[in-house]
Structure 1
Amino acid sequence: MGGDIKGSYDLHMHSTASDGMNTPKELVRIAAERGLRGIALTDHDTVAGLREAAEEAALVGLEFVPGIEISTRAGEKDIHMLGYFVNPADEIFLERLAGLRGTRDQRNDLILERLRQLGVEITLDEVKERGGRPLKPGESVGRPHMADVLVRKGYAVDLRDAFDKYLAEGAAAYVSPPRITPAEAADWIRAAGGVPVVAHPGLYGDDGLVREVIGTAKVAGVEVRHPDHDAAGEERYREMAREYQLITTAGSDYHGVRQGVVFHGELGEYVAGEGVVNALLRMTSR
């Protein structure tokens, strides 16, 4: 891990509340051990891990940003919207997220059916078992959990192979049911007291669509530093953020270690400074 991360914030990571391998408490401890000043926990379509992470952060003296990553659909692509400083006790927000997890469950069923049609026999119970960590209320399962089962049962060599063959957008078993739009997700985040930021724009392969999302969703920021952005992409999105006067965020998108491989980046490898967090915080009072 290069560079001095002391005093920095990793603003994108996932716990066992969604598709990460570490509990919220474990993520906080790792961040503290690595000298970070703070983190944001941004699980997919759930805030179930935020309380545990916040309590542990208070114990170890780590600053904590309550976050989320909401799955949306625009331009025939899955677009992810990060939300920072959301209120995890907001009842309307919780109801809306429960609906999103219902859509995620529908997608999971459709993917498993498509896999069965391809002669790949894995069950929802195997997916929900999550390597010995059964699903808890408010948590969600996703494609990485399916990939684990595919590897374990010999249908794929490793996580990347499982996604390339079956689970990635355009692969044999990929399915995406109707979802909310990025603008709706941004509205939900703001209604819950939070600040919306476009996640990893380089993954969408369509900068025109990214610009459209920025405009329609009226986001506050763009995730510029991310493991899946090369140097040219990072500079491109930094310039786009300057053009639209947006906050530039950074995060590892850490999901933990699967089959010996870190997915996406190592916790603390992609970080933002205190000024970024303060800028996001100021947006909550507007």
Structure 2
Amino acid sequence: MFEADLHTHTLASDGTQTPAANVRMAKEAGLSAIAITDHDTVSGIAEAIAEGSRLGIEIVPGVEISTVAGSQDIHVLGYYIDIRDLRFLKRLESLRETRNQRNEMMLERLRELGLDISMEEVLREVEATKSEGDTIGRPHMASILMKKGYVASISEAFERFLGKGGQAYVNPPRIEPAAAAAWIREAGGSAVLAHPGIYHDDALVEQIIRGGMDGIEVYHSDHSPADEARYLALAERHGLLITAGSDFHGERGGVVFHAPIGARRVSTDVLKRLQTKRGEFQ
């Protein structure tokens, strides 16, 4: 069966592996296609396409855009965007600037809590792996917190400090999901609501998809079977595309986040529908 994992991250954002390494893992997992969906950047896609061409793996050019709705972070996946679209690239740059502002605010809160961690330390941590257009995120801060002994694991760093409800969590103003979906379509892509189960607010999820989503990530590593059944029914009710993704971020501290490549997969039949769905929503 021809299958795809449509949600993976690389060193271009907060993953721990190169785009080429993700493609090789997709090959080893028996996949026919993989999407590279780094946070607010498309800088890793060209490398993935080159490796995909070598190995015979189809690369879906993607992105995961950070937005806010209902006072919480909402992520919107974009597929088959034109990664050379200058307007889209400029928009992503503005999102990375907001992300950098968020990072500084969180680091300030950590210092107020007595945790000695600076942006300079975070930058030193990633300098060997980052290129222009890449992003820095909370996992990089979590890694420093663990190395300095403030937490025992990346998970603890998020639970106590960096995740929603954590002592250092902040949520600066961002665009709304509908705006992200519009940007994605204007760049020639299809917009899919990422991992709706982690928001714990199905009324909000329904509101968001009515605002312009082409699909829902029904199958995700953090979804329970009950979540998947509920979102499958929701997608079918609204005539939306159904996608699946591991949300692979690589390994930190001996733990794979969120799951290995291929842990959630969908038939490659959906790829053609993602390409033909573009621009349908008005």
Task: Give the TM-score normalised by the residue count of structure 2.
Answer: 0.97
Aligned partner letter, 1:193:
G
How many pairs are equivalent?
Answer: 280
Pairwise mapping of residues 1-286 of structure 1 onto structure 2 (< 5 A)?
Answer: 7-130=2-125, 133-216=128-211, 218-284=212-278, 286=280
Cα gap change, 1:202 to 1:37, in 2 (>3 Å): same
C-alpha distance after superposition, 1:114-173 (max 9, x if no partner): 000000011112212345634321000000111111101101010110001100011100
Residues 1:173 and 1:285: Cα distance change in structure 2 (over 3 Å): closer
Distance 1:29 1:74 in 2: 36
Report if the CA contact (8 A) 2:34-2:60 is conserved: yes
* Deviation by residue 1:153-201 (Cα, 9 ceiling, x = unmatched): 1010101100011000111000110000000000000000000000000
When structure 1 is superposed on structure 2, of 124-133 and 24-33 the one drifting more is 124-133
Q: Matches of 1:33 and 1:14 in 2, distance apart?
A: 17
The one-letter code of the counterpart of 2:51 is: E
- Give ranges in structure 1 of 5+ residues lacking alignment: 1-5
- Return the alpha-carbon distance in structure 1 between the equivalents of residues 135 and 184 of structure 2: 19
Deviation of 1:278 (Å): 1.6
Cα deviation, residue 30, structure 1:
1.0
CA deviation map 1:57-81 (0-9, x unaligned): 0111101100000000001011000
Contact 1:15 1:43 (C-alpha < 8 Å) held by counterparts? yes
Contact 2:33–2:268 (CA under 8 A) maintained in structure 1: no
CA distance in 1, matches of 2:2, 2:140: 33
Is the CA contact 2:110–2:168 (under 8 Å) kept in the aligned structure 1?
Answer: yes
Q: Which amino acid aligns with 2:223?
A: H
SS in 2 for 1:281: helix
Q: In structure 1, the residue corresponding to 2:217 is in which secondary structure?
A: strand
Partner residue in 2 for 1:3: none
1:240 match: secondary structure:
helix
Q: Gaps (5+ residues) in structure 2?
A: none
Q: What SS is found at the alignment partner of 1:224?
A: strand
Counterpart code for 1:88: I
In percent, how many aligned pairs have the same letter? 49
The answer to whether the 8 A contact 1:196-1:220 is kept is yes
SS of 2:158 mapped into structure 1: helix
Distance 2:91 2:104 in 1: 20
The worse-fitting range, judged by mean Cα deviation, of 132-141 and 223-232 is: 132-141
Q: Is the 8 A contact 2:214 2:240 kept in 1?
A: yes
How well do the aligned residues superpose, as a CA RMSD in angstroms? Answer: 1.1
Deviation at 1:285, TM superposition (A): 6.4
Deviations 1:99-122 (A, max 9, x none): 000000000000000000000011
What TM-score comes out, normalization by structure 1 length? 0.96
Task: Pick closer, same or farther for the CA change 1:285–1:99 going to 2, 3 Å.
Answer: closer
Preserved CA contact (<8 Å) 1:39 1:63: yes
Amino acid at match of 2:217: E
Instruction: Please list every run of at least 4 consecutive aligned residues from structure 1 whose deviation after the TM superposition is greater than 4 angstroms.
Output: none
Q: Indicate if the aligned counterparts of 2:11 and 2:129 stay in contact, CA closer than 8 A.
A: no
Q: Deviations over 1:26-85 (max 9, x none)?
A: 111111122110100000000000111111101111011000000000010110000000
